[in-house]
Amino acid sequence: MTQTINSIEITSPARLHLGFIDLNGSQGRKFGSVGLTIDTFFTKIKVTHIERTKGQINSNCERSKQYAKQFCKVFSIESSFTIDVESNMPEHSGFGSGTQLALCVGKAISELSNLNLTIEKIAEILDRGNRSGIGIGSYLAGGFLVDGGKGISDKAPPIIARHDFPENWRIVLLIARKQEGMFGSSEKEAFNKLDVFPLEKAQFLSQLVLMKTLPSLIEKDFHSFQIQLILQHEMGISFFRARGLFKKKSFPDYFLFRKKRLQGMDRALGGLQVLCYVIVTHKHIK
C-alpha cells in the first residue's frame, strides 16, 4: 500500500473458499471456513481525494462507487473522491471479488479521511464477512487460512489458523465461461433453505481440519492433504445441492482434464459454482 498526500493505492489478492467446517452450529458458531489466498487474480484501486468539492463519488466501476457511498454515509463524510479500479478479478466466480473491492475502497477512504479503521471494522460497515472470514484474512495476511465461524455478534468470523502454502503445490483453475455463480440476495436465500446439517458430520469435519488438514499442510504431506480436501468437499454435498452447484455439464473441460491429464497423479479436486480447482504437486507441472 503506497500513499501520497491526496491519493492512495491498494492491492488485495483473490481467495479460494475450500469448504465449510460446521454447518450445524450446535456450539453457537456456524460455518467455519477453510480457504487459500491466491495471487493469480487481484484487485487494485487508486482513490484520490478531490478538493474544493463535496459529496461527489466518481468511479469507473459502479460497484466501487456504491461501496464508497455506503461508507461515507455511515461516517457523514462530505469529501469527494475519485476511484480508479485499475484491476479487478472476475466477479461472481468464486474469488471473493466483492469483499476485496469493498475492503480496498473502505480502507482507502478511511486512510484519506484519517479514520484509521481496522479491516475488520470496515468489513462490518460494508456488510462483508457474514459467513466467512477468509476474504478478510487473505487481505490482511494471505496464506492458507481457517476461520472460527460466525457467532451471534455482527463481527466477521475470526481467523484461528494461518500457514504458508507450500510453493511446490500448484493450483490449476478452471472457470466456466459465460456463467455466474450465486451472489447477493439469491445466495442468502439459498443459505436459508439449507437442510439442517447432521451434527456427526460437523464433528467429523472439525476433527478432520484439526487433526489432518493443518498437520498435513505443515508437514507438507500432500497425500493426506488431498484426502481431507476431497472428504470435506463430499461431506458438504447438501450445501452444494441446495445451490445447484458443481454440475458435470458445466465443466466438460474439467472432467476431460481430470481424465486425460491427471490420471494416476496426486491431486486434490474440488470447487463449486463456476469455478473448479485442481491442486497438484510441482513434479506434475510441465
pLDDT per residue, tens digit, the chain (286 aa), is: 554 469 999 999 999 988 889 989 999 999 999 999 998 899 999 999 998 889 999 999 999 999 999 999 999 999 999 999 999 998 877 899 999 999 999 999 999 999 999 999 999 999 999 889 999 999 999 999 999 999 998 889 999 999 999 989 988 887 766 555 555 556 666 566 666 778 998 999 999 999 999 999 999 999 888 877 877 766 666 555 555 544 444 444 444 445 444 443 344 445 555 567 777 776 555 4
**Distance between CA atoms of residues 81 and 105, nearest Å:** 10
Per-domain residue ranges for the chain?
2-284
Arch. (CATH architecture) of 2-284:
2-Layer Sandwich (3.30)
**Distance between CA atoms of residues 25 and 164, nearest Å:** 28
**Distance between CA atoms of residues 273 and 286, nearest Å:** 28
Question: Which pLDDT does position 174 carry in this prediction?
Answer: 75
**Distance between CA atoms of residues 84 and 60, nearest Å:** 6
Half-sphere exposure of 148 (CA within 13 A, CB side): 10
| DSSP letters spanning 71-97 | HHHHTT--EEEEEEEEE-PPTTSSS-H
Question: Which pLDDT does position 23 carry in this prediction?
Answer: 86
Residue 215 near residue 163, CB atoms below 8 Å: no
139: closest CA among 112, 106, 172? 106
- How much is the pTM? 0.84
**Distance between CA atoms of residues 8 and 5, nearest Å:** 8
Q: Which helix (H) or strand (E) holds 186?
A: helix 184-192
